[in-house]
A and B are shown apart, each in its own frame.
Chain A
Amino acid sequence: MIEKIRKLVVPLTIVCIVAALGLGFTYGVTRERISKQEKEKEAEACMEALPQVKTPRELKESKDLLNKAKKVISDSKVEIEKVFTSKKGIVFVLRSRGYGGMISLAIGISLIGEITGVSVISHNETPGLGANLENPKFRKQFIGKDKRSKLQLGKDIQALTGATFTSNGVVRGVKAALKIFDLIKGK
């Protein structure tokens, strides 16, 4: 029995440990690059959403506002991830439900409560349909809208052809961002 256990366990464990060390090494090498890339991408999206900001340094992540935002958010299909503040406005990084999964958006709002830009960090929508949300033409429609805008699909906002869920997802995200801004701005 003991002999059998030794015979099976030793090779398996050796293989596993070698594999674990190899992977740990690879992870160590790639980790920094992965997180750097993710940060860069996020910063780029934020700057696109708030064009008045010229360098990533002007944006400051605010845990305080994030907690407040999480409390006031009521839509279960939207999930807020980060809030960046700057002298020119606020950027909300949030995830909203689309057709193929969560769409990660950065939404910039100026100090007077107008949308300055919407940019996509990542998404998994159908190529050729929902994936057209990468197209700036669709996203530019949101610029200048504020809390008074109804943001109705088909009226104020031209939906993406054949991708109502995706368009809805973006609109929902923008609405949530405006609402949060409205509720927390006084504080």
Chain B
Amino acid sequence: MDWMLLGKAAIALGGPSVLFGALLAIASVRFKVETDPRVDEVFEALLGGNCGACGYPGCQPAAEAVVKGKAPVDVCVAGGRPVAEAVAKIMGVPLQVRERGVALVHCKGGFNESLPKAIYEGISSCAAADKIAGGWKACSYGCLGLGTCKAACPVNAIIIDEDGRRWVRREKCTGCGLCVEVCPRGLIEIVPRDQEVLVVCNNRDKASIAREVCSVCCIACRKCEKACPNGAISIHDNRAWIDYEKCDQCGKCIEVCPNNVIVRVVPAPVRRRKKGKVPSATIRKVERLIDREIP
């Protein structure tokens, strides 16, 4: 055995290690940045995908914001309740589940209801389609149905069916609002989760124009406004608006609406699968369209 070699090896690796160890030690004292140890703990608890759905540039800034008290403990949208519980435990505060809203697309018109004015064959992006001559739809307010919101959704809560209509799976939607930002027509709104009666049209043209381009649009007829016992509905910009604070969801407006623009959205009943029985593709498809409208 070559003892000299071993000694030299120990010096060659040990020397730098002493040097750099000391360097790091000095740096960790001299350049210490006061950080709350909870930041790291919270960071560990978050989902760690850096998805940005919470509105912070990444999980680390979000964790810092939570510890500083700037963000609530349920900041992690994608992580949902389990993560919120873990964060609340670290922060030592009781978890108050802030009821998150749910996304709503303010347009009901699919291919069958809303008239096209041109055939669009460009890239599959609403923003691009919107830029070309104001979109392919005759209605200049309606949904273009190319699925930019669907692509933006981190939890796959948005579905576009064969008729070009949009559905939001309410049980999946976390109300993060990423879809709101990407919609070039500003059709998506985060509404309170317990709000069931909703206006699903954003057309602000006069009735005469609106009626020509779409069979399911708001024509500002004011019937709902009159029918509402609480004065929760108002008409401006040629469409109906519901004040969610005042609305008691009685559904009288739904009955009078001539174009079925006001609808009640209810969660579909949860079906229980029998063990060992895998539903066929078609059945599963139906199941996915969880939110149905009751006109």
The answer to whether any beta carbons of A and B sit under 8 Å apart in the complex is: yes
Residues of A within 8 A of B (CB): 1, 4-5, 7-9, 12-13, 15-17, 19-21, 23-25, 27-28
Number of A-B contacts defined by CB within 8 Å: 64
> A5 near B13 (CB under 8 angstroms)?
no
CB of A14, distance to nearest CB on chain B (Å): 9
CB of A29, distance to nearest CB on chain B (Å): 9
Interface of B is mostly: helix
A2 to B, closest residue via Cβ: B25
A19 to B, closest residue via Cβ: B13
Determine which of B6, B12, B17, B28 lies in contact with A12 in the assembled complex, contact meaning CB atoms within 8 Å.
B17
> B9 near A23 (CB under 8 angstroms)?
yes
Give the chain A neighbours of B18 by CB distance below 8 A.
Answer: 9, 12-13
CB of A116, distance to nearest CB on chain B (Å): 40
> A20 near B21 (CB under 8 angstroms)?
no
> B5 near A28 (CB under 8 angstroms)?
yes
Interface bracket on B = 20 to 34
> B12 near A8 (CB under 8 angstroms)?
no
Distance A25 CA – B8 CA, assembled complex (angstroms): 12
> A1 near B29 (CB under 8 angstroms)?
yes
**A12 touching B21 in the complex, CB below 8 Å, given contacts A19-B13, A21-B9:** yes
Give the chain A neighbours of B14 by CB distance below 8 A.
Answer: 13, 16-17, 20
A-B contact pairs, 11 of them (CB 8 A): A1-B25, A4-B28, A5-B22, A5-B26, A8-B21, A16-B14, A16-B17, A17-B10, A23-B9, A28-B1, A28-B5
> A13 near B21 (CB under 8 angstroms)?
yes
